[in-house]
Amino acid sequence: MSELYLIAHKVRGEPAFDIAERVECAECEGERRVMSSYDRVNCVECDSLGYWWIIPTSGHRAYLYYSAELPENFVCSVPDMPPDLPDHYRAKAEPKRTIDVSTLTQPKPFKMNRRI
């Protein structure tokens, strides 16, 4: 497995942290090519860096603004999961949740004026 990094990138307009790995650019095949005359970028896919950042759990490309290499002996303490926490992906049927419709407001009727 390649080295993993802690990255900060933009998700739905908000900053988010994720784990990512550097992957060789498929366009320039990892060669850092820069034109010497004006220092223009030759590979537009990776901005001539030679690599992309990929989130391994989803396979999506990340456009980060911060990265830090994760050490091999990375240790963190995670609190116990609350027992009533809903599952992200349900694998079995769960009890139905009911909504109190008496608290919902009714929409105003829509009126359209027509010209003849």
Q: pTM surpassing 0.75?
A: no
**Would you tell me how many other CB atoms lie within 10 Å of the CB of residue 20?**
21
pLDDT along the chain (116 residues), means of 10: 83 86 81 50 74 87 87 77 69 71 72 73
- Kindly list the distances between the CA atom of residue 46 and the CA atoms of 76, 89, 113, in Å, as whole numbers in the listed order: 32, 34, 55
Cα separations in angstroms, 5 against 8, 17, 58, 88 = 10, 10, 15, 24
pLDDT at 37: 47
